[in-house]
Amino acid sequence: MKKQFRNAINTGIIFGIITIFLFLIGFTGISADLLGDIFRNKTAAPVSGLTFQMVNMLIFLGLIGLWAGSIGSHKEKDQTTDSYGSALLGGLISSLVHGLLVGGLALLVGTLDKNGIKINVYLSEVLPAAVKLFILGKTPIQGALFHLVFLTLTGFLGGFLSRSLGRSAWRVRWTDKSNEIIAKVAHMPIFTKIRSNRILLYSVYGLILILVFLLPLRAGQYWNYTIGTVGVYVLLGLGLNIVVGLAGLLDLGYVAFFAIGAYTMALLTAPTPHHLMWNFWIALPIGIGLAAITGLLLGAPVLRMRGDYLAIVTLGFGEIIRILSKSDALTSFTGGPKGVPSIGGPTLFGKPFESPINFVYLIFIAVLLIIFVTNRLQNSRIGRAWEAMREDEIVSRAMGINTLKQKLLAFAIGAAFAGLGGAIFASRNQFTGPEDFSLMVSINVVALVIVGGMGNIPGVIAGALVLKGLPEVLRQLQDYRVLVFGALLVVMMLWRPAGIIPSSRRKMEIEKEPEVQDISVEGREK
Amino acid sequence: MTIALETRSLTKNFGGLTAVDNVDLVIQENAIFSVIGPNGAGKTTFYNCITGFYEPDKGEVLFFGKSLVGLSPDQVTYSGISRTYQNIRLFANMSAMENILVGEHARLHSTWIDAILHTPGVVKEEKEAVEKARQLLNFVGLAGLGDQLARNLPYGAQRRLEIARALASQPRLLLLDEPTAGMNPHETSEMKDFIRQLRDKLGITILLIEHDMRVVMGISEQIAVLDYGAKIAEGTPLEIQGNPRVIEAYLGSGAASGLHNTEAQTA
C-alpha cells in the first residue's frame, strides 16, 4: 500500500518533469497551435478571458494530466486487491504532485517575467508571450493555482477512467485487439472470396497498382519528391530486410552500399570531377554491381563475427566510406566535401527525365522489381536457409547450410539493392555528397525495418511510409517533429512490438483457407 | 556386413580436460547402437566430434570408409549423417513444414539465380520437396500440424519434428541425443517403437545417446559405455547390465565393490 503511494509520487514527479521540459522547449505553445489547426479554432468560446490558444494548451496539458493520473493509479505488481479507493487515491497523489510541480513552474516563470527578467535570454523558447500563455494571462499566483487545480482534476479523472475501463494489461490487449481486427478484416467474406480466386486476386492487385501509378499525377512537385524519397527508402529497407530480417545479420553500416551506388552513378555520369558523362542506363548496373562486390569484400572477413561485433564493425565501415568520400586525399576523385553536382539523369526513348514525376515512376518500377526478387528469394531454398541461420546458426550448419556462403550471398544481395537505391537517388537529386550518407541513414533504415515488421515485404513498405512519410506530414510541428516522431515510435513499439505488420508464415501444408482445413487434413493425399 | 561408422582412438581435449579419450567404436550398418554413460561422460562431445562441430585432437572418424575429420558440419551432413539435439533445437519461428524443408537443404540444388528466375527445374524441385516434407510429417505422426510454428507445438511433437527434420536430409546414419528426455512412460515407449521403425522401414543406422535404460536395453543391439571420456565397456545389453565397471561408473565405486564384498565397503 505504502509502496504504491510512493510510486504514485514518483509518477507525479516524472510527469511534472516531462511537462516542465515540454514548456521549457516551447512545445506547449506549438501543440496549442497545432490543436488550434486541427479544431480550426472552434474548440469552445473563450471562457472567462481565456483565448483559443490557452484553451488548446489546456487541452494538451489535460491529456498529459489524464495520463499521469492513470499511470499513478496503477496497483503494484504484487498487490492482489485493486480497489477503487486505492486506485483513485494513487491517481490523486500523482496528479497532485504533477500539478504542484507545474504550478510551481508557472509561479516561477510568471514572477520572473513580471519582475522584468527576460527568461528567453537563457532559454530561447521561453518568450514573454509563452509565459503569458502559460499563466493564462493572469497573475502568476492565479495561473499557478489554476494549473494545480486543473492538473489535479484531470489526473483524478484519469485515475478513475483507467480503473473503470479495466486497464489490466491494456497494452497486451491493445496488441491482441489490433491483431484481431486485422484478422477479422482479412477474413471478411469479400476478402476470402478474392483470395480464393486467382483471377480476382490479380485484378485487385492490378487495380491497386493502377491507383498507385495514378497517384503521382495528382500529387504536386513537393509530394512527388517525398514519394520518391519514400520509394528509395523502401528499396533500402527491402535490401536490409534480407540482411537483418531474414539472415539475422545486424548491419549498421548499410549506408555504405547506398553511397557506393550513388557515387558510382555520380562519378560516371557527371561532368565533374571526371567528365565521363556516361549514360544512366550503363552507370546503373555498374553501381549495383560495385555495391554487391563491396558487400562481398566487406563480408568475407567481417561475417565471421556475430551479433554485436558485426554491428560495430559494419558501423565503422559505413563511417569509413563517408569519411573517405570527403577526404582531402580523394578530393580529385570523389569531389570531396563539396560533393558531385549535375549528375546525369536517365533518358527513355530519347526523352530525358526532368520532373520528379518521371523519377517517381522509375522508383516504382525499381521497387516492384525488388519486391518480385525478394519474394522469389524468400520463398526458396535460399530464403529458408537465411531464416534458419537467423533462428539457430549452429543447427543450420548441421542441416547442410554453408553459413558463410549464405551470409555473403545475403550481404551482397542486400548491398546490390542499396546500390540500386543510391544510384537512382543520386540521379534524381542531380547531386550527391558526403552529407547524404550520414549514420542517420543507416539507423533510419534499420528502424524502418524494425518498426514495419522484420522479415516481410508489406512491413518494410509500411515502415518506410511511417518513418520517411510521417515526418513530412508532421512538418507543421517544425523543430519538434523529431520529438513527436520519437514519441510516436515509442508508442508504436509498445503497442505493436512485432512491428506494424508482423511477419506471418506462409501456409504450405494446407494451402486453402481455414474453413476447409478440416477436410483437407483428412483428404490431403488425394 | 558393412561398417557404417568407425572411430579410431578418437580424442578431444578442452584445456586440461580430456572429454573424449581414445574411443574406438565400430558401428555396423543397419544397427541400433547406444552410447551411454553418466552425465559429463563425453557423449555429446563424442557426437560433436563426429558431426564436425569439434575437430578431434587425435584419431580418425570413418564413415563408410571415408574420413570425416576436418570436414565442416555442413559437409558432414552432405556425406549422409544427421543428428538431433539433447535440448530441442528447432527453428522456433518457422513452421513445422519449413523446418523440414530446411532439413532438405542438402538434398536440393537450386541457387539464388534459379530461385529468382523460377526455372522449371526449381519449380519441380520445390514441389517435390514440399511433397516429401508432407510425407515426413505423416511419417512422424504430425500430419495437419505442418503450418504451426515449431515453438507452438507440444513437447513430444517437437521431438518428433526434430527427427523429421534430421530425416529430411536422407541420412544413412542418424545420431539421436536423448530423444526421450522429458517424456512420460507412454511417450517414451512410443518413441522406442518409432526409433525401431526408422531402422526397419527406412534402413537408417542409428546411434543413440540415452539415459532411459528401458529404452537403451529395449532397442539397442550394441551398447558402448563412456566414463570420463573413455570407453569402459562395450557389448550387448545383457553383457552391459552385468558389467561391474559400468555399475561402478553409474553408482560409484562403493556400489560396485559392494556387489562382491559388502564388508569392504563399510570399512
3-state secondary structure A155-172: HHHHHHHHHHCCCCCHHH
B115: nearest CB among A380, A399, A402: A380
Q: Are A494 and A171 in contact (CB under 8 A)?
A: yes
Task: Please write the tens of the pLDDT for every residue from B13-50.
Answer: 998 899 999 999 999 999 999 999 988 889 999 999 99
B137 and A CB contact within 8 Å: yes
Nearest CA in chain A to B170: A399
Q: Are A420 and A237 in contact (CB under 8 A)?
A: no
Same domain, B160 and B197: no
Q: What is the CA radius of gyration of chain B?
A: 20
> Are A380 and B53 an interchain contact pair (Cβ–Cβ within 8 Å)?
no
A376: nearest CB among B76, B83, B116: B116
B119 and A CB contact within 8 Å: no
pLDDT tens over chain A, length 526 residues: 677 778 888 888 999 999 998 888 888 888 887 777 777 655 555 556 677 788 888 888 888 998 888 888 876 666 666 677 778 888 888 889 999 999 999 899 888 888 888 887 888 778 888 888 888 888 888 888 988 999 999 988 888 887 777 655 555 566 677 777 777 777 777 777 777 777 888 888 888 888 888 888 887 888 888 889 999 999 999 999 999 999 999 999 999 999 999 999 999 999 888 888 889 999 999 999 999 999 999 999 888 888 889 999 999 999 999 999 888 888 888 888 888 988 888 888 777 887 778 889 999 999 999 999 999 999 999 999 999 999 999 999 999 999 999 999 999 999 999 999 999 999 999 999 999 999 889 988 998 898 888 888 999 999 999 888 887 777 766 667 777 778 877 887 777 777 888 777 777 766 544 433 333 333 333 3
Cell numbers at A449, concatenated? 525495418
CA–CA distance, B23 with B7 (Å, rounded to integer): 7
Same domain, B35 and B151: no
Same domain, B158 and B190: no
Q: Is residue B89 part of a domain?
A: no
Cβ contacts (< 8 Å) between A401 and chain B: which residues? 74, 102, 105
Q: CATH topology for A219-495?
A: ABC transporter involved in vitamin B12 uptake, BtuC (1.10.3470)
Same domain, B158 and B133: yes
Domain boundary among B125, B148, B168: B168
Tell me which amino acid residue A266 is.
A
Same domain, B184 and B225: yes
Same domain, B113 and B233: no
Average pLDDT, rounded, for chain B: 89
Q: Using CB atoms and an 8 Å cut-off, which of residues 198-227 of chain B contact chain A?
A: none
Q: Are A70 and A161 in contact (CB under 8 A)?
A: yes
- Domain of B163 in residue numbering reads as 94-168
Same domain, B75 and B62: yes
B74 and A CB contact within 8 Å: yes
Same domain, B72 and B9: yes
The nearest CA of chain B is from the CA of A7 a distance in Å of 37
Same domain, B184 and B224: yes
B110: nearest CB among A380, A398, A510: A380
> Are A380 and B122 an interchain contact pair (Cβ–Cβ within 8 Å)?
yes
Overall number of domains in chain B: 2
Task: Please write the tens of the pLDDT for every residue from B134-188.
Answer: 999 999 999 989 999 999 999 889 999 999 999 999 999 999 999 998 888 998 9
Beta strand extents in chain B (DSSP E only):
3-14, 17-28, 32-36, 58-63, 66-67, 81-83, 173-177, 205-209, 222-227, 230-235
Q: Is residue B140 part of a domain?
A: yes
Cβ contacts (< 8 Å) between B89 and chain A: which residues? 392, 394-395
Same domain, B51 and B98: no
Cβ contacts (< 8 Å) between B72 and chain A: which residues? 397, 402
A376 and B CB contact within 8 Å: yes
Q: Is residue B86 part of a domain?
A: no
Q: Using CB atoms and an 8 Å cut-off, which of residues 160-179 of chain B contact chain A?
A: 165, 169
A-to-B residue pairs, Cβ atoms closer than 8 angstroms? 122
Cβ contacts (< 8 Å) between A505 and chain B: which residues? 94-95, 98, 147, 149
- Return the percent helix, strand and coil in chain B, to nearest 5: 45, 25, 30
B85 and A CB contact within 8 Å: yes
> Are A400 and B105 an interchain contact pair (Cβ–Cβ within 8 Å)?
yes
The nearest CA of chain B is from the CA of A401 a distance in Å of 6
Domain boundary among B148, B168, B188: B168
pLDDT at A143: 87
pLDDT at A219: 79
Same domain, B119 and B237: no
Q: Is residue B87 part of a domain?
A: no
pLDDT at B264: 43
Query: Could you state, in order of their start, the residue ranges of all structural domains in chain A?
Result: 2-168, 219-495
User: Span B204-232, mean pLDDT?
Assistant: 92
Q: Is residue B85 part of a domain?
A: no
Q: Is residue B114 part of a domain?
A: yes
pLDDT at A425: 95
Cβ contacts (< 8 Å) between A510 and chain B: which residues? 144, 146-147
Pairing of the two strands B17-28 and B81-83: unpaired
Q: Are A464 and A233 in contact (CB under 8 A)?
A: yes
CA–CA distance, B262 with B267 (Å, rounded to integer): 9
Domain boundary among B106, B135, B168: B168
Tell me which amino acid residue A50 is.
L
Nearest CA in chain B to A387: B94
pLDDT at B262: 45
Residue located via cell numbers 536517365: A346
Please give the backbone phi and psi of residue B46, each rounded to the nearest 5 degrees, phi first: -60, -45
Same domain, B72 and B101: no
A435 and B CB contact within 8 Å: no
* Peptide bond connecting A273 to the previous residue in cis, omega within 30 degrees of 0: yes
Three-class DSSP category at B95: strand
Cβ contacts (< 8 Å) between A397 and chain B: which residues? 72-74
pLDDT at A378: 92
